[in-house]
Amino acid sequence: MKHDVDLSVNIAGINMKNPVMVASGTFGFGREYSDFYDINKLGALVTKGLTFMPKNGNPPPRVHETPAGMLNSVGLENPGVQGFIEEEWPHLSELAIPVIANIDGDTVEDYHKTAKKLSSLEGLAALEVNISCPNVEKGGLAFGQEPESAFEVIKAVREATRLPIIAKLSPNVTHIQKIAEAAVSAGADAISLINTLLGMAIDIDTQQPIFSRKFAGLSGPAVKPVALRMVWEVCEAVDVPVIGMGGITTWQDAVEFILAGASAVAIGTANFVNPTAPLEIIEGIKAYLDMKGRNLQDLIGAARG
Partner 1 sequence: MNNTVAALADIVQNKEIAPNIYHMKIKALDIAKKAVPGQFLHIRCGKTLSPLLRRPISIADTDEKTGCVEIIYRVVGEGTRLLSQTLTGHKLDVIGPLGNGFPLPEKDAHCIIVAGGIGTAPIIYLAKKIASEPKNKNSVTTVLGFTTKSEVFGEGYLKFPGVETIIATDDGSYGYKGFPTDILERLLQEHMGKTDPIIYSCGPKPMLIKVKEIAASKNIRAYLSLEEHMACGVGACLGCSVKSSRKGYKKVCKDGPVFEAGEVELC
Binding of residue 202 to partner 1 (CB under 8 A): no
- Per-residue contact string for residues 229-258; x = within reach of partner 1 by CB under 8 A: --------------------x---------
Cα gap 245→286, rounded to integer Å = 19
Q: If you count DSSP H runs as helices and E runs as strands, how many of each does the chain have, helices first? A: 11, 16
122: DSSP letter = T
- Stretch of residues binding partner 1 (CB under 8 A), selected from 68-76, 143-151, 225-233, 289-297: 68-76
* Count of beta carbons in the 10 Å neighbourhood of residue 28: 14
Q: Which amino acid is at 173?
A: V
Residue whose CB is less far from partner 1, 7 or 201: 201
Distances (CA, A) of 261 to 128, 175, 264, 269: 19, 18, 9, 22
Q: Indicate whether 96 belongs to the interface with partner 1 (CB under 8 A).
A: no
**Dihedral sign, Cα of residue 118, residue 85, residue 24, residue 267:** positive
- Indicate whether 225 belongs to the interface with partner 1 (CB under 8 A): no
By C-beta, is 10 or 34 nearer to partner 1?
Answer: 34
Cis? peptide before 61, omega within 30° of 0:
yes
Q: Which is nearer to partner 1, 64 or 155 (CB)?
A: 64
Q: Which residues are catalytic?
A: 133
By CB under 8 A, the count of residues binding partner 1 is: 38
For partner 1, the closer of residues 60 and 123 by Cβ is 60
**Residue of 240, 237, 232, 289 whose CA lies nearest to 261:** 232
Q: Kindly report the number of other CB atoms within 10 A of residue 80's CB atom.
A: 16
Q: Of residues 263-292, which lie at the interface with partner 1 (CB under 8 A)? A: 269, 271-276
State in angstroms the smallest separation of the CB of 193 from partner 1.
20
135 touches partner 1 by CB under 8 A: no
CA 144 – CA 151 distance, rounded (Å): 9
Determine the interface stretch with partner 1 among 49-57, 121-129, 163-171, 188-196 (rule: CB under 8 A). Answer: 49-57
Q: Which is nearer to partner 1, 135 or 263 (CB)?
A: 135
Among 12, 18, 33, 51, the residue binding partner 1 under the rule CB under 8 A is 33
